[in-house]
Amino acid sequence: MKILIFIFLFLNITLLNANMVSKKGYSVSEDIHVYVDGLIRNDENWIAIFKKDALSKASNVISWKRLGVKNHANVTFRGLATGNYQLRVFYYNSYNVEQSFDFYVSETPLIELETSKETYTTKEKIEIDVANMLGDDHDWIAVYPKGSSNDWSNVIDWTWLHGKRDKHIEFSPITEEGEYELRAFFKDSYTLEASYSFKVVKIKAKLTIEHYLNTEQSHIFISIRGVEPNKSNWVGIYPKGSDNAFENVIQWKWVLHPNYLLGFNPLPVGEYEARAFFNNSFIMEAMVPFKIIDYSIDKNKLLIQAKKQCLQDTNSTEDVLCSRDLDTVYILTKRNFHYDLYFGHYQISLSNNSVKTIKERFLPTYLQYHDMRKHILFEEIQNSSLYIVKTFNSFADENGLYLFYSKSGKLILSKGWYELRGHIIKGTSEVFDNATKLYFETVSEEGGGGGDQYKYKFIYDISDENNVTRISKERI
């Protein structure tokens, strides 16, 4: 039995999401510097500058760049004329905006002053970014209690900018809880030019379930943050709704490192709660609930579906393939589990009522952007027991795969296509020479649309399904 571990994140959810850091105001012709993180890794991710209210289409792109395959990138654009603009991040070469950031260009941009987040703990350094200062050696930044005067006696921490107009600053942690302000001053004066408010609070535990899992993976990973590492702080897994007594603990671990990721063993189907405790006590400091759900497919229903489709109607469809021997049936499935997806590829024998799993794939929510639009369908190969599973992704750039399977359900060959380049021409796939050779034709359109078309024929040696080799490729 296969089990889906589906995690409900009711607090502190951590999902992959693009984030941009840049200045809000630039001077005319000043280079535009952007840092992007939280990216899905794909070499077709890109970032572009548009006029603020312009539609996301090619004709409106002012400047653009690829982001590479990392989950973060530093990008620099050349300076712009005065106006209001927007940076936009796109995945998979599409025009679907993942994240945007507004900025402006002017002759005299406003001062930007802010902390990296609105709330810090009493053990965290205060990270500050300031931009568009005067550039004098005695411009300075300071931290004050919120609402206090600009008198020197109220300064908690401060620094000169030493002639820098833009600068990243780190101040030491503030040990007292409260509300504070950053303040910017020019030329060693106490005349306020800009301010920004933030808070400081005591450390609090935060629990998150970092990953979606299934039973083929070895652990349930739970992250705990904001807790001092020692052998008195611990995390336990409980049945949902049970009290904190130790006899109810299913699994537990000490917190031995800061910002630690704790690995727990897989669990049976049910509802659970991960709970954090301080000082070897049973006073709960944080909790996150999750579920483990049985997602195994009902293979008896697949058998009934195969018999109805292929014995009564003997008709193949996009997701059911009735083979020529009227015994073997192939079925593709796509099922939803609370916004997660599960794909299955099965082989059914009608003579002995058996169901064989060829491939199963679980797609948690955070991986679906690339796959949730995917179409999957069957195609038979002429004069053969072989068949093709075709996948098709419809984005700004269309792409897909042709997966060639033997009668035993073994994948013997795969061929990708991209933007009309490499399509297999329908009806040309066939075998010959006593089923030892595979032939098919492809069509390519150079440039992806509107270009010249070319046809090619391919021949593969499939006499050994464990060692399929290409014999030839010729232009027709």
Q: Which H or E run includes 261? A: strand 260-264
Q: Where in the chain is the domain with CATH 2.60.40.10?
A: 25-106
Q: For residues 220-257, b (16+ Cβ closer than 10 Å) or e, as one string?
A: bebbbbbbeeeeebbbbbbeeeeeeeeeebbbeeebee
Structure tokens at 68: 């590479």
- If you ran DSSP here, which 8-state letter would residue 173 be given? P
Taking Cα atoms as reference points, which of 256, 257, 286, 259 lies closest to residue 273?
A: 286
Alpha helices for 186-323 (secondary structure H):
299-307
Handedness of CA 10, 14, 20, 25 (dihedral sign): positive
Question: Are 31 and 77 spatial neighbours (Cβ–Cβ below 8 Å)?
Answer: yes
CATH number (2.60.40.10, 3.40.50.1110, 3.40.367.20, 3.40.50.970) of 25-106 reads: 2.60.40.10
Structure tokens at 452: 């010249």
The pLDDT assigned to 258 comes to: 66
The pLDDT assigned to 476 comes to: 87
How many other C-beta atoms are found inside a 10 Å radius of the C-beta of residue 349? 14
The pLDDT assigned to 187 comes to: 92
Q: What is the mean pLDDT of each run of 10 residues along the chain (476 residues)?
A: 37 51 83 90 92 94 93 92 94 92 87 89 87 90 96 97 93 93 95 93 75 55 77 90 95 83 87 88 88 80 91 81 84 72 86 89 54 60 82 71 86 86 88 93 72 88 92 93
pLDDT digits (tens, 9 = 90+) for 260-282: 789 898 888 888 999 998 878 89
Q: Where in the chain is the domain with CATH 2.60.40.2840?
A: 3-9+203-294, 116-201
**Nearest-angstrom CA–CA distance, 142 and 157:** 6
The pLDDT assigned to 53 comes to: 93
Structure tokens at 128: 């500050």
**Nearest-angstrom CA–CA distance, 347 and 359:** 10
Taking Cα atoms as reference points, which of 404, 407, 397 lies closest to residue 424?
A: 404
The pLDDT assigned to 216 comes to: 47
CATH number (3.50.50.60, 2.40.30.20, 2.60.40.2840, 3.40.50.720) of 116-201 reads: 2.60.40.2840
Handedness of CA 165, 167, 173, 176 (dihedral sign): positive
**Nearest-angstrom CA–CA distance, 129 and 171:** 11
Identify the residue whose tokens are 């944080």: 286
The pLDDT assigned to 213 comes to: 52
The pLDDT assigned to 373 comes to: 45
Beta bridge partners of 271: 291
The pLDDT assigned to 396 comes to: 61
Domain 3-9+203-294 sits in CATH 2.60.40.2840? yes
pLDDT digits (tens, 9 = 90+) for 339-369: 566 778 899 999 999 999 988 776 655 444 4
